[in-house]
Amino acid sequence: MKGRYPVVAALVLAAAAGCAWGSSKLVWVTVASADGLGVDRVDDVAGSAWSAASLPLALVLCAAIAAVFAVRGVLAGVVAVLIAGVGVGVALPAVVLLTSGTTNEHAGRIAELPGRATVTSVDTALVGPAVAIVGGVAAIAAAVLLLARTRSAGGLSAKYDSPAARRSEAVRATQEAAEQDSDVSQRLMWDALDAGVDPTVESEGGRGTPR
């Protein structure tokens, strides 16, 4: 699974980008208006008009697919955070629209109605905003996968260290072992002196000479 993290994250990102792009083309709001001069007017407002950032964010998600394979370590974590932020940016306008609705004035302004027109009704579509939410959630899921890959790589970094790094680690371990041996030898020497034995003078039996 560890080797599949980039592929799975890229596939999820592709789905997220597709949802973000598709939602920008779908209808989010239908605005009915009248100007008192002719028949009533009905305007469909697409996601790209209601959420102007939806299409640029879809392009960012497409670019992030390549970044998933190109970055490692800390940069991968940074990219994951950015992807999660893009996912929030894709989903948030749709969530706000579906949960809080909108005003006639705001809908008329986005629909670019003439000044004399009066908005008579505003209908919120379900499919367009829902697709945007799915895209945002998918982007956040891809970010989580990328972060999981970063943590996994960090845990296995010692296994895949370069030869130079392994040599440096070996030297450090040897030095630590030597220091520990030196500390033990010094303690034994002081213990011998406390017992009245001179450890620097060896007798025929190989033991220190008692004082």
pLDDT, tens digit, for every residue of 114-173?
A: 888 889 999 999 999 999 999 999 999 999 988 887 776 554 444 445 566 666 666 666
pTM above 0.85, yes or no: no
3-class SS of residue 209? strand
Domain boundaries, the chain: 2-155, 163-210
What are the pLDDT digits (tens) for 135-149?
A: 999 999 999 988 887
Query: CA-CA distances (angstroms) from residue 189 to 201, 202, 207, 210?
Result: 12, 13, 12, 13
Name the nearest CA neighbour of 195 among 208, 182, 206: 208
User: Fold for domain 2-155?
Assistant: Butyryl-CoA Dehydrogenase, subunit A; domain 3 (1.20.140)
